[in-house]
Amino acid sequence: MMSTPPARVRAHDLVFEEMLTEAQIRARVEAMGRQIAADYGGKRPVVLSVLNGSFIFTADLMRACPIECEVSFVKVASYAGQSSTGKVRQLLGLDESLRGRHVIIAEDIVDSGFTMQWLLREVRRMEPASLALAVLLLKPEALQVEVSIDYLGFEIPNAFVIGYGLDYDGLGRNLPAIYRKCDG
C-alpha cells in the first residue's frame, strides 16, 4: 500500500510538513483531560493558560476535563522568530487570586525550559495549594534546565513547529494539526 506524503503548509518564507495529525492530538489531549479530572476531582483547580500559544490546547484540555475547574491567563514571551532568546519577559500579570488554589499551568511547548522555570518560580511565590504542569509538546534535546512535567502530550524532535496555537511570527496558530519545519 502506498503511503500518502504528509501535507505541507507555508508560513512566511518557510515550508512545514505535518507531524501530528488532528486526530492524534485530540486523542492525547482527551486522555490528559481525563487524567487531570481523575487527579483533581473536588479540588476545583485553576488552569493557568500561558498565552498566546496555549489558547487552543487550554480550550481543548478543559473541555476534556469533566470536573469543576476555572481558567486564568498569563502572557509571557521569550521567543523571537524561530529561536528562544533565553530571557523571559512577563507581558500580562499574574493574579494574587492563585493563593491557596490548586494551579495547573497549561503550556503548549517546552523548548529550552527557561519560560517554565521562570513561570513556576513566579507562581510558587503566589503560594498556591499545589502546582502542576501540563505541557502538550516537549523537545527533550533542546532542554537547558530541568523542568518537571506532570502531564505531557508528546515528546518531539528538536524541530521548529507550528499549528494548534503555535506560530511562526504570528502565522500558523489556526492550523488544526501540528507541522514541523522542512529542512533546507
Between 103 and 166, name the residue whose CB sits nearer to ligand IMP.
166
What is the number of other CB atoms lying within 10 angstroms of the CB of residue 13? 7
Scanning the structure block, which residue is given the C-alpha cell 530541568? 146
Between 28 and 55, name the residue whose CB sits nearer to ligand IMP.
55
- Give counts: helices (H), strands (E), the chain: 3, 10
Q: How many CA atoms lie less than 13 Å away from 13 in the CB half-sphere?
A: 3
Between 40 and 175, name the residue whose CB sits nearer to ligand IMP.
175
CB neighbours of 39 closer than 8 A, spacing ≥ 6?
A: none
The correct pick among 22, 43, 78, 150 for binding ligand IMP (CB under 6 A) is 78
How distant, in Å, are the alpha carbons of 32, 93, 120, 131, 139 from that of 148? 16, 23, 10, 11, 13
18 scored as a contact of ligand IMP (CB under 6 A): no
The correct pick among 40, 57, 114, 151 for binding ligand IMP (CB under 6 A) is 114
| Catalytic residue check, 111 | yes
162 phi/psi in degrees, rounded to 5: -135, 170
The correct pick among 110, 132, 136, 138 for binding ligand IMP (CB under 6 A) is 110
Q: Active-site residue among 39, 95, 111, 167?
A: 111
| Least distance (Å) between residue 107 CB and ligand IMP | 6
Angle at 68 between CA 66 and CA 72, to 5 degrees: 110
The correct pick among 11, 47, 109, 177 for binding ligand IMP (CB under 6 A) is 109
Site string for ligand IMP, 141-170 (x = CB under 6 A): -------------------xxx---x----
Q: Would you please indicate which residues are annotated as catalytic (active-site) residues?
A: 111
Task: Point out which residues bind ligand IMP (CB under 6 A).
Answer: 53, 78-79, 84, 107-115, 160-162, 166
